[in-house]
Amino acid sequence: MQAGPSGASCILSPTSRQLPKKSGGGEHGYDLPSTQPVAETGNKYQLEVSILKDIATITIDTTGSSLFKRGYRVAKGPAPLKENFAAALVLLTNWHADMPFYDPTTGSGTIAIEAAMIARNMAPGRTRDFAFSGFSFMDSQLLDQERERAMAAITNPTLTMVGGDINQEMIDIARVNAQNAGVLHDIQFKQVAVKDFRTDLEDGVIIANPPYGKRLQDADAAQKIAEEMGAVYGPLTSWSKYILSGDANFERYYGHKATKRRKLYNGAMRVDLYQYWGRRPRH
């Protein structure tokens, strides 16, 4: 273990051990310790040590890989959203399973996949591995029982969902990820440019994470996409649009002032969720 500055954390990994060697100088005589490798066998128990001033806190990692990793995304495109961030975006909208859904810049399909999982009540970690599953003091049947409960709770509503992207390679990746997540039959992925979107459906929701200059270093392309979105989505007055952008000029490019803006952080990057609420239907 290596000590760090105040408040720092470090991870213990028993890859080697200081073993003293006996010398010939009597029963209690030892030479200086020598470092010899020790084979790592058995289950892995990762200990984390957090040191703050004169207090050291030792915890055991029961998770393994980060919790935002659901286990279905085997491939991804440039600047992908974390799965839990994508799920949060969906929950910030007014979308429900009985409403049309469209993600025009779907990339690896994360937003659409997370929306479908929410609609079907799929536990996000139902297929992934956890570090504690290998702990000898854990009842292995507990995790199996919880997985069975999660699978039994899944619903099967009829969904109208489309994920579009101008890049066919990304559409192929999105289909693979959706298949792994168990929602491929719920989402129609197709190659379509932002400017070419047309629909006769009403009261739908668009959730988009388009490229923006800070994210992909192409400000001109990001401006063009924002302008195309404004031109295409503006006439869809019954649809609500939720568009994530880190560009402070997004509203100007889009051509309409947002109904509401919500400040978020995509990792360390400050972004805004521009919300354009659709016209409420009259009863």
CATH of the domain at 211: 3.40.50.150
**173 shares a domain with 111:** yes
With respect to residue 116, please indicate whether it lies within any of the assigned structural domains: yes
Alpha-carbon Rg for the chain, nearest whole angstrom, is 25
pLDDT computed for residue 236 by the predictor: 96
Number of domains composing the chain: 2
**113 shares a domain with 210:** yes
**pLDDT exceeds 90 at position 21:** no
Owning domain of residue 48: 9-60
**215 shares a domain with 113:** yes
**Mean pLDDT on 246-274:** 94
pLDDT computed for residue 252 by the predictor: 96
**163 shares a domain with 51:** no
Higher pLDDT, residue 215 or 200 = 200
**Mean pLDDT on 245-250:** 92
Ordered DSSP codes for 102-118: EETT-TTSHHHHHHHHH
With respect to residue 72, please indicate whether it lies within any of the assigned structural domains: no
Task: Give pTM, 2 decimals.
Answer: 0.80
With respect to residue 204, please indicate whether it lies within any of the assigned structural domains: yes
Would you give the DSSP letter of residue 46?
-
**Mean pLDDT on 182-189:** 97
Q: Give CA separation, 264 vs 6, 240, 250, 269, in Å.
A: 29, 19, 15, 8
**225 shares a domain with 93:** yes
**Mean pLDDT on 227-253:** 96
pLDDT computed for residue 39 by the predictor: 76
**55 shares a domain with 160:** no
**117 shares a domain with 242:** yes
**242 shares a domain with 115:** yes
Whether the Cβ atoms of residue 133 and residue 147 lie closer than 8 Å to each other: no
pLDDT computed for residue 76 by the predictor: 72
**172 shares a domain with 44:** no
pLDDT, mean over the chain: 86
Higher pLDDT, residue 29 or 137 = 137
Least confident segment among 1-5, 60-64, 123-127, 192-196: 1-5
**51 shares a domain with 165:** no
Least confident segment among 74-78, 215-219, 220-224: 215-219
